[in-house]
Structure 1
């Protein structure tokens, strides 16, 4: 089923309660990053994109970080950022399956798989327009092979009618897990090059595989009302709409947070339905009229002097997003502002007011730049006694990196440093995160 969301004709960028423009970001540091990935033949075409943190239920030191490397498959790291496992992007288990391209990843906890309870990494596969599923060994970083694929065969395409349409690559992109109740697990997935979001029910099979059913769609706006009665259409290459990628679900409230890269941050109630989405912040150049230059394949301002109407927190692309669970009803939405190498933080309560921005500086490693995906947990994980943020870094420019190759990595940041810098809570209780109770 497909639904469309209609945006109310209000001057969005002027109604947000945001800090004063130009407020400097805080700076936090990290000294822990994963080995470099190279996006070339020699490096296995591995381009880092999105991380997920799996928290071990009994021994936090055995927690792991799972990341996507696109055509390079998946990587699994321990809390010291050592690589534990490299999984290739194998063909999907379909009669017409091709080698995968793993874009985003999230964790589903407590899924019944083959008669036992397991935690599952849920991965979006762009080249097959479907979800892939990997059970996590309960030993975590102590396992010889922490992940094992259990994707059921012949899963339907999430957004396309057939393989010919899939090959045009407007396919599964961002992914987040939503677990609203015991025995209920859904994946929320965005579509590359469109404004469409899908939900799919995760359905374990008796044979130990995992698939999905009940796919539903919601189309978000691709044009926006402005003050004075104008309508703004974000500039994209021909045939492409202003896409969404980063998605995260507040498991306490069933609210989806989604980043529309050239537009801003959305708040969307689940399950999907019309009338509920609300745009809670906009990128700085929201409302600027651009034109597509076919020669450079870039969008350029029609009037370089035209001011943007967006807020001060996000510079396109708005990318990764996740939720930190603090005490009571307090929580934080963290968003990567890829265009200016910052991260924005918002409250999960009320009107999602802005709580500030920060940068990540390297201490013996390079600074974090151009962040795409990110993940955060409030739980103690190993030496991260106040929680952990993991974020993509591109380009990776640290010591020993070949400057002539496309290099990416992931950096680990102590949540306590972010909390100190912005005056946020630290609360590591398991009960804060409904998935880990």
Structure 2
């Protein structure tokens, strides 16, 4: 946090970045220590991030938020959300949010916490619908667990959204290869009807594991490895087009085939790197809005508190960037790690889908409180892009 006894120099810097923040008078200074933040690793970086955010022209406001996560306001703890759409009653859909300081929470669509699972320091989370397990097809939630250096998989209980373990054993990563597990996503190869778990690590290694049904439990088989030049994290797969997208935090977004036979071949998406003035590292969360044969790839641009949008098809042309600012009685969003999108009509508030993003600076009035997740109607995003 920016402590009250900081030097005069740091106080002056704080005044500068307050002037950059786009919000009403009585602006709220961050209260994180420089050692616990990313864009805020020093006050000059923070000031620059707000200044870069001002250059983003498109803006929208949040519609709702989850309760604050189980952490202190000083901690960078919330990370990645995943949305589960209930198959028979969309009003009972759930949001699962990771907590890097101890677990995973579930929330309803109004942001109320339903359950908390103290399973370890969970980083990234994803959901796979209709996985064939035993005689059933069930929704599976998966996540990267940094406490145990493992892949954790759960079956989502249909009526309640409760998480139930579903693996043959703890799925540990290989410590000789994986230097701190980070990113996680599911991928499905429609050509072979094969489902995969994909992880990445701090040392740049990406591993893709085949999911295998072992008597109603899930086991893993390594299908391929890809070595990135630097640390990746956010990932998303598009089963319909057959591509896996990997965000390399300090480089851009890479595209490779889900089919493991593609090996290490990958392509950097044009406009996802620093050649685009609206991209400011780190590249963090990735998600996809699928609308029939079209749609969008959305990425968190953490260095300017914004979101870059690319076409889903073809060469993934860059479309534009937007930011989430104060409105509807809620604070705006900064320094997003993970995000998730669904296109299902969930309620009158979310008729064309829902965007959920992690908020790195969460405020109640003038006070910084523990981080949370913000909910935004996809209608707002689509109106910007039309």
TM-score norm. by structure 1 comes to 0.70
Give 3-state SS (helix, strand or coil) of 1:49's partner.
Answer: strand
Alignment of 1:314-353 (within 5 A): 314-327=279-292, 329-353=293-317
What's the counterpart of residue 166 of structure 2?
Answer: 150
Alignment of 1:394-405 (within 5 A): 394-399=360-365, 401=367, 403=368
CA pair 400-86 structure 1, distance change in 2 beyond 3 A: farther
Contact 1:103 1:123 in 2 (8 A): yes
What's the counterpart of residue 5 of structure 1?
Answer: none
| Cα distance in 2 for residues equivalent to 1:275 and 1:121 | 27
1:254 aligns with 2:274: no
Q: Deviations over 1:93-128 (max 9, x none)?
A: xxxxxxx32111111111233433211101111232
Aligned counterpart in structure 1 of residue 156 of structure 2, from 136, 161, 164: 136
Report the number of matched residues: 329
What's the counterpart of residue 417 of structure 1?
Answer: 380
- 1:33 positional shift: 0.5
Q: Deviations over 1:381-405 (max 9, x none)?
A: 233111010000002123385x3x6
| Cα distance in 1 for residues equivalent to 2:371 and 2:55 | 29
- 1:313 positional shift: 2.7
CA pair 398-268 structure 1, distance change in 2 beyond 3 A: farther
- 1:370 positional shift: 0.4
| Cα distance in 2 for residues equivalent to 1:154 and 1:359 | 39
What's the counterpart of residue 217 of structure 1?
Answer: 225
- 1:67 positional shift: 1.1
CA pair 115-71 structure 1, distance change in 2 beyond 3 A: farther
| Cα distance in 2 for residues equivalent to 1:353 and 1:189 | 26
| Cα distance in 2 for residues equivalent to 1:124 and 1:215 | 18
What's the counterpart of residue 390 of structure 1?
Answer: 356
| Cα distance in 2 for residues equivalent to 1:155 and 1:421 | 42
Aligned counterpart in structure 1 of residue 201 of structure 2, from 191, 194, 203: 191
The CA RMSD measured in Å over matched residues stands at: 2.4
CA pair 25-187 structure 1, distance change in 2 beyond 3 A: farther
| Cα distance in 2 for residues equivalent to 1:204 and 1:381 | 31
1:35 aligns with 2:67: yes
Contact 1:283 1:313 in 2 (8 A): no
| Cα distance in 2 for residues equivalent to 1:173 and 1:340 | 22
Unpaired stretches in structure 1, ≥5 consecutive residues: 1-21, 90-99, 223-241, 287-309, 424-437
Aligned counterpart in structure 2 of residue 359 of structure 1, from 291, 301, 323: 323
Alignment of 1:276-287 (within 5 A): 276-281=265-270, 286=274
Q: Deviations over 1:58-109 (max 9, x none)?
A: 21111111111123200001111111110002xxxxxxxxxx3211111111
| Cα distance in 2 for residues equivalent to 1:109 and 1:257 | 19
Q: Deviations over 1:154-183 (max 9, x none)?
A: 4342x424xxx87xxx22211111122375
CA pair 127-408 structure 1, distance change in 2 beyond 3 A: same
| Cα distance in 1 for residues equivalent to 2:180 and 2:242 | 25
Give 3-state SS (helix, strand or coil) of 1:152's partner.
Answer: coil
Q: Deviations over 1:404-437 (max 9, x none)?
A: x6x21000110011111221xxxxxxxxxxxxxx
Contact 1:175 1:188 in 2 (8 A): yes
| Cα distance in 1 for residues equivalent to 2:115 and 2:309 | 32
| Cα distance in 2 for residues equivalent to 1:332 and 1:397 | 30
- 1:38 positional shift: 4.7
What's the counterpart of residue 23 of structure 2?
Answer: none
| Cα distance in 2 for residues equivalent to 1:114 and 1:84 | 28
| Cα distance in 1 for residues equivalent to 2:270 and 2:183 | 19
Contact 2:226 2:264 in 1 (8 A): no
Contact 1:283 1:316 in 2 (8 A): no
1:178 aligns with 2:176: no
What's the counterpart of residue 17 of structure 2?
Answer: none
TM-score norm. by structure 2 comes to 0.79
Give 3-state SS (helix, strand or coil) of 1:417's partner.
Answer: helix
1:61 aligns with 2:24: no
| Cα distance in 2 for residues equivalent to 1:23 and 1:395 | 19
Contact 2:200 2:232 in 1 (8 A): yes
Contact 1:342 1:358 in 2 (8 A): yes
Contact 2:303 2:335 in 1 (8 A): yes
| Cα distance in 2 for residues equivalent to 1:39 and 1:185 | 34
| Cα distance in 1 for residues equivalent to 2:118 and 2:70 | 14
Contact 2:151 2:172 in 1 (8 A): no
Contact 1:266 1:281 in 2 (8 A): no
